[in-house]
Each structure stands twice: as structure tokens, then as C-alpha cells.
């Protein structure tokens, strides 16, 4: 069994990584796909590498080529129907994104309370995990940048200008940003209420993803910020795998 594990969370916009030895985190970081220099500084030849990918084939090939130069043949993680005491209620378990699955596993590792797992990236996902460890289902919505692009491309007078979220916006840029934040927070609040009804009490809320900190100040709930949630889940899954 190799003691060093290189974990790669291949998201739509950025590649995030962690280097773990046994249960100790040695390094972590992220980069855009156009410049993975920072990743090359932590790779060692023949590392045991595991990848959770939701990215396009072009970037998967880029990662594979980079790893091959270090004599590394990675293991591509997939979504399963169960892991430990976490169960997947998706009608087709493999349709659930592997990043969402790893986030659910990490959330269960943190607590056995009912939990709403919110990931704010290129898309926003809002996933409900019961106190019994069952993934009940979740929402997918465009993230902040995708919503901005949709408005810019679908309307004539929405320019590429950054706005500020306000209660009563008085410029178009502010109105766009405020509308996006309100829509995303509304989705979180709606699912929070649904899960609270099922659980019989307010669930925990875990917030992760590249735009998590942008949304955080506007969510009127007690929230736990977990920027490395997917990597935490990967660490748990790969540790169990290497022990078998």
C-alpha cells in the first residue's frame, strides 16, 4: 500500500488537490487548467493518485498526460449506491456527480445530523442528507457566473459590469447581482425548510465551492464553511480503499 495519496478534485473551472500521507494532509491547493504549474510542484513519481472529475474530456486528457509524465496511472472515482452508512437515493446512482457524492460522504463524516450540503461553483447544488445517512435528493441551478452570462447573452442592455448585492438596487449591474444572490439564497432556504420538515428539526448547513464566500453573507441561516469538502470525502473513500 502506498502511503502518499494525491487527490484531485477536477471541477468545471478549477482543479483542486491535496497530498495526504496516511491521515496527514501534507499540501493542498488549486489552479485553473491553463496553468497547472503549482500542481507539478507537489507531485512525486508513482504517487497513488485518485481523481473525482466532472470536467470536460479535454481537461481529463490534460490531467492524464501530466500524470503520465510522472509515471502515475490515476484511479478515477465514481459514485456508488452506498458507502459506509451513506446511501444514495438517486434513481440511477451513477447519474449523481461524483463531486456531490464525495461531499455527502464528507458531511456524514463531520456529523450524523440531517445536513444540507450547498456547493456554489459553476453550478450550485443543494443536497439533502438525512440523519440516517440517506441522500434524499438535491437541486442543481446555474451558479453566479453562469447566471450573469445568461443575462448578458439573453438581453440587450445588461453589460459585463460587476454589481453589488443590495436590498433595493438602483443600477442595472446591482440589480443583476442582487437578483442572482436572491435566487440562490432562495433555493437554499426552500430546501432547508423541506429538510427541516423531514428531520423534525433544523438541519445543519454546510457551504462549499469556489463562490461559497460570495454567497455566505446573504444566507440567513447558521452555516458551516467547508472549502475542501470534496477532498475530505475523497480522503475518506481512498483511505478505506487502500486498507482493503
User: Is 172 one of the annotated binding-site residues?
Assistant: yes
User: Is 10 one of the annotated binding-site residues?
Assistant: yes
User: Is 16 one of the annotated binding-site residues?
Assistant: yes
User: Is 55 one of the annotated binding-site residues?
Assistant: no
User: Is 103 one of the annotated binding-site residues?
Assistant: no
User: Is 237 one of the annotated binding-site residues?
Assistant: no
User: Is 137 one of the annotated binding-site residues?
Assistant: no
User: Is 11 one of the annotated binding-site residues?
Assistant: yes
Give the CA distances from residue 120 to residues 114, 217, 224, 227, in Å, rounded to whole numbers and listed in that order.
20, 13, 13, 10
User: Is 15 one of the annotated binding-site residues?
Assistant: yes
Q: Is 99 a catalytic residue?
A: yes
User: Is 139 one of the annotated binding-site residues?
Assistant: no
Query: From the candidates 99, 127, 174, 211, which is the catalytic residue?
Result: 99
User: Is 100 one of the annotated binding-site residues?
Assistant: yes
3-state secondary structure the chain: CCCEEEEEEECCCEEEEEEEECCEEEEEEEEECCCCHHHHCCCCCCCEEEEEECCCHHHHHHHHHHHHCCCCCCEECCCCCEECCEEECCCCHHHCCHHHHHHHHHHHHHCCCCEEEEEECCEEEEEEECCCCEEEEEEEEECHHHHHHHHHHHCCCCCCCCCCCCCCCCCHHHHHHHHHHHHHHHHHHHHHHHHHHHHCCCCEEEEECCCHHHHHHHCCCCCEECCCHHHHHHHHHHHHHHHC
Residues catalogued as catalytic: 99
Indicate the annotated binding residues for substrate: 90, 97-100, 172
Indicate the annotated binding residues for ATP: 9-16, 122
Indicate the annotated binding residues: 9-16, 90, 97-100, 122, 172
Amino acid at each position: 500500500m502506498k502511503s502518499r495519496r494525491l487527490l484531485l478534485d477536477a471541477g468545471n473551472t478549477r482543479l483542486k488537490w491535496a497530498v495526504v500521507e496516511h491521515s496527514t494532509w501534507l499540501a493542498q491547493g488549486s489552479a485553473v487548467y491553463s496553468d497547472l504549474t503549482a500542481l507539478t510542484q507537489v507531485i512525486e513519481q508513482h504517487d497513488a493518485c485518485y481523481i473525482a472529475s466532472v470536467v470536460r474530456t479535454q481537461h481529463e486528457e490534460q490531467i492524464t498526460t501530466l500524470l503520465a509524465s510522472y509515471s502515475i496511472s490515476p484511479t478515477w472515482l465514481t459514485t456508488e449506491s452506498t458507502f459506509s452508512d451513506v446511501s444514495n437515493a438517486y434513481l440511477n446512482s451513477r447519474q449523481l456527480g461524483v463531486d456531490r457524492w464525495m461531499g455527502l460522504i464528507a458531511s456524514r463524516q463531520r456529523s450524523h445530523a440531517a445536513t444540507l450540503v450547498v456547493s456554489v461553483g459553476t453550478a450550485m447544488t443543494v443536497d439533502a442528507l438525512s440523519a440516517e445517512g440517506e441522500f434524499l435528493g438535491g437541486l442543481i441551478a446555474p451558479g453566479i457566473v453562469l447566471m450573469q452570462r445568461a443575462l448578458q447573452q439573453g438581453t440587450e442592455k445588461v453589460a459585463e459590469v460587476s454589481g453589488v448585492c443590495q436590498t433595493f438596487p438602483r443600477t442595472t449591474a446591482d440589480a443583476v447581482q442582487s437578483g442572482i444572490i436572491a435566487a440562490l439564497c432562495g433555493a437554499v432556504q426552500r430546501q432547508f425548510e423541506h429538510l427541516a420538515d423531514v428531520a423534525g428539526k433544523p438541519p445543519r448547513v454546510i457551504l462549499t465551492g469556489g463562490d461559497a464566500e460570495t454567497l455566505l453573507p446573504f444566507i440567513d441561516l447558521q452555516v458551516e464553511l467547508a472549502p475542501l469538502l470534496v477532498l475530505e470525502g475523497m480522503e475518506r473513500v481512498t483511505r478505506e480503499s487502500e486498507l482493503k
